Amino acid sequence: MPQAPIARIQSGDDPYRWLEERDAPEVLAHLEAENAWLEAELADQQALRETLFQEIKGRIRETDLSLPVPWGPWLYYQRTTAGDEYPRHYRCPRPDDGSLALDEAREELLLDPNELAAGGFLSIGAFSISPDHARLAYSLDTSGDETYQLYVKELASGEIHTLPFAQCDGSMTWANDSATLFFGELDDTHRPHRLYRHRLGQDGAELVFEEGDGRFFLSCYRASSERQLILLLNSKTTSETWVLDADTPEGAWTCLAPREENHEYYADHGKLHGQWTWLIRSNQTGINFALYQATETEPGRAHWRELLAHDEARMLEGVSLNAGGYVLSLREGGLPIIQVHPEGAAPYPLQLPDAAYSLYVQDSLEFDSPVIRLRYEALNRPAQVRQLELATGTQQVLKETPVEGPFDADAYVSQRLWATAADGTRIPISLVARRETLGQPAPLYLYGYGAYGESLDPWFSHARLSLLERGFVFAIAHVRGGGELGEAWYRAGKLEHKTNSFGDFIACAEHLIAEGYTSSTQLAISGGSAGGLLIGAVLNLRAELFAAAIAEVPFVDVLNTMQNPDLPLTVTEYDEWGDPSDPEVFERIRAYAPYENVRAQAYPAMLVVAGYNDSRVQYWEAAKWVARLRASRTDTHPLLLKTDLGAGHGGMSGRYQALRDVALEYAFLLKVLGLPQR
């Protein structure tokens, strides 16, 4: 009978630091032993895992076509084929009648990731067609470490040029001459810090900009108008924007507003009332952002004119624009709202049918398009791509993600609940279940994140139906630290307020138990990355409240990581967690860090997943945490570590590989919760 891996202990404050020795034979042997232990522990579930995989796969339309995107003389689209891990990229001539009808006899294959992956890991960074539609610039990560190789394909001949640059961040931005590319370079901490200009046919690249402050990331992209290039430099709290006429790639960049600590602003270029203009979203008058306009010729901050004032009750999250007007992405009461400002007409909001949902502008299409595309989905409603006519507000569902086999959205109930935290704050919960499941305690899967101001808006999942059909309830805890209720909600769950995230999650769990949705013996929790920190912290605080936990690429060694500025992302993360070189911050982080606070108590059954090539959360965070748990815990529940030795932060890259990972997690939950293995 195999034995659970026992990690050797070294002396010092961090007894498992030896697991940080990447590629050391003893480290690889330990990770492989953990993987073998997981397979041995779950050996009786092989048939169930295959059943779940086939079940989930059976709901997904394996051969499908994406919605074509019109641009210039072409329609661009993707096609998935049964058996392939990745969609292929195509284009065909655009019909003269303005429809989206495909001329498959004249279609061109632009890129086949299945051929490029050759069975291994593959992630596409940039996929950028040149303005003259003659070339494709793309970048590939073949290990999962988010370092990319750059390529340019001549679409007429099929010739591919491998650009001779290393340590690239994957970005590739065309100037309007269709011969000049701007790309980013990573520094030793995996931070995009330099922007280069490369002219096709030349050997090297010219350095355009270098960002010396380790808190700031650099990115370059085309404005909505396609007339300007934008260089954004931003930290977690401050930003700075430089712009360049896309017709003059050799020209000098202009700064819209020099950086000022705690001033964030984001600009886009378009037309307003017939004049080329800049629209700028800025927090200079309030944390929820206001909207400003500046002329093309005088874009500096002194010339910004307010279009929409700051609103304490409503967050301005984004602006999308084209020749037909602009669209505001707002957030109020924990829900996203779209407000349309058509050119020459009164603004109007969009009306939506569900209590909790996800809604955002998916594509503003060509600048002169009279329509834009929205993506809308709910926990019980598959994603829809809706076309919105800006001038009239008319909506048309162009495509709904199909669910193969029997499926009725009305068979599921989607709810918005509110828990109350210890300080009286009301915490939103989004929830879905089959109608007949509600009314008595049921197995419940509670998910959380709560960091970086990211909003976990409800999303539909084909795979999740396998849990719901087995009597599960699925819920999302929208804890402080996320962005669901605006910037103040985010700030109330970061830095010195980080423990609010943990208390909120526990309050949500207690509320779901108290209201009869579940019980502590049926409650499973899950989170990934910074959400893994959330899971690790609440397990240390209230382990008895939960029956099972899944932590994916968990940021659990936060104190040690934040003390190592040579690691990717550490310096820029000071604005989120604090700099532990300050003794007060050190003690604050140490008080909640999951790894440091493992103690002798009974923990629930746990499945922990890591990626060996993960550049954001190093594999050793999960490995060290599990080793410490094995040495300290007083229970005998399953404690399993799975390290994907050929993947990074996002796990395995292929769609079938990802489904097999989900099947493993679901089978684990059915086993540890004592549910039927079918």
Which residues does the annotation mark as catalytic?
529, 614, 649
From residue 199, give the alpha-carbon distance in Å to each of 182, 202, 487, 666: 9, 6, 41, 50
The H or E element spanning position 239 is strand 239-245
Half-sphere exposure in the Cβ direction for 595 (13 Å, CA)? 23
- One DSSP character per residue, 546-584 reads -SEEEEES----HHHHHT-TTSTTTGGGHHHH--TTSHH
Neighbour order of strands in the sheet with 265-272: 265-272, 275-282, 290-295, 305-308
The DSSP code sequence of 53-64 is HHHHHHHS-SSE
Q: What share of the chain is helix, strand, coil (3-state, %, to 5)?
A: 25, 35, 45
Amino acid at 644: D
Q: How far is CA 279 from the centre of its chain?
A: 26
Please state at what angle helix 583-592 crosses helix 499-514, rounded to 10 degrees. 20
Q: How far apart are CA 159 and CA 129, in angstroms?
A: 15
Question: How far apart (Å, rounded) are the C-alpha atoms in residues 646 and 664?
Answer: 17
Q: Which residue, 671, 604, 605, 611, is CA-closest to 647?
A: 611
Pairing of strands 548-552, 605-611: parallel
Contacts of 153 (CB under 8 A, 6+ apart): 110, 111, 135, 136, 138, 159, 160, 161
Q: Do residues 269 and 227 lie in contact, with contact meaning Cβ atoms separated by under 8 Å? A: yes
| Pairing mode, strands 523-528 and 473-477 | unpaired
Q: Are 608 and 623 spatial neighbours (Cβ–Cβ below 8 Å)?
A: no
Give SS3 for 607.
Answer: strand
What are the start-end ranges of the E strands in 379-491?
381-389, 395-400, 412-420, 426-434, 444-448, 473-477
Residue 84 CB contacts under 8 Å (≥ 6 apart), including other chains: 114
Q: What contacts 24+ positions apart, CB below 8 Å, involve 633-637?
A: 633/598, 633/600, 633/601, 633/602, 633/603, 634/600, 634/601, 634/602, 635/602, 635/603, 635/604, 637/602, 637/603, 637/604, 637/605, 637/606, 637/672
Burial class (CB in 10 A: 0-12, 13-18, 19+), 494: buried
The C-alpha atoms of residue 408 and residue 414 are separated, in whole angstroms, by 13
- Rounded CA separation 391/373 (Å): 14
Among 250, 230, 249, smallest CA distance to 240 is for 230
